[in-house]
Amino acid sequence: MIQIESLFKAYGNIKAVNGISFSVKEGDLFSLLGTNGAGKSTTIGILTTLLAKTSGAVTVGGIDAAKNPERVRELIGVVFQESVLDDKLTVRENLMVRGSLYGLRGARLKSCVNEAIRLTALGELDTRLYGRLSGGQRRRTDIARALVNTPRLLFLDEPTTGLDPKTRRDIWRLIRNLQKSRGMTVFLTTHYMEEAAESDDIVIIHKGEIKARGTPTQLKAAYCTDLLKITTTDGRYNEYKLRSTLEALPIIERHKENIANVEIINGTLDDVFLNLTSGKNSLCEFFPPTDSTAAAGGMN
Exposure pattern of 22-57 as b/e (b: 16+ CB <10 Å)? bebeeebbbbbbbbeebbbbbbbbbbbbebebeebe
Cα–Cα dist 175/44, whole Å? 18
- Closer CB to ligand ADP, residue 190 or residue 238? 190
In the complex, minimum distance from the CB of residue 205 to ligand ADP, in angstroms, rounded to a whole number = 7
Asked if residue 40 lies in contact with residue 14, where contact means CB atoms within 8 angstroms, the answer is no
CB atoms within 10 A of CB 220: 20
In the complex, minimum distance from the CB of residue 42 to ligand ADP, in angstroms, rounded to a whole number = 3
Cα–Cα dist 249/228, whole Å? 10
- Closer CB to ligand ADP, residue 42 or residue 94? 42
Residue 64: name the closest of 153, 2, 15 by CA: 2
- Closer CB to ligand ADP, residue 14 or residue 222? 14
In the complex, minimum distance from the CB of residue 32 to ligand ADP, in angstroms, rounded to a whole number = 8
Residues with Cβ within 8 Å of residue 298, at least 6 apart in sequence: none
Helix (H) or strand (E) holding 52: none
Asked if residue 230 lies in contact with residue 252, where contact means CB atoms within 8 angstroms, the answer is yes
In the complex, minimum distance from the CB of residue 195 to ligand ADP, in angstroms, rounded to a whole number = 16
Cα–Cα dist 86/235, whole Å? 64
- Closer CB to ligand ADP, residue 51 or residue 283? 51
- Closer CB to ligand ADP, residue 154 or residue 174? 154
For residue 23, what are the β-bridge partners? 3
Length of the chain: 300
In angstroms, how far apart are the furthest CA atoms of the chain? 79
In the complex, minimum distance from the CB of residue 152 to ligand ADP, in angstroms, rounded to a whole number = 24
In the complex, minimum distance from the CB of residue 44 to ligand ADP, in angstroms, rounded to a whole number = 8
Chain residues binding ligand ADP by CB under 6 A are 11, 14, 16, 34, 36-42
- Closer CB to ligand ADP, residue 31 or residue 149? 31
Cα–Cα dist 120/174, whole Å? 7
In the complex, minimum distance from the CB of residue 39 to ligand ADP, in angstroms, rounded to a whole number = 4
- Closer CB to ligand ADP, residue 11 or residue 237? 11
Amino acid present at 203: V
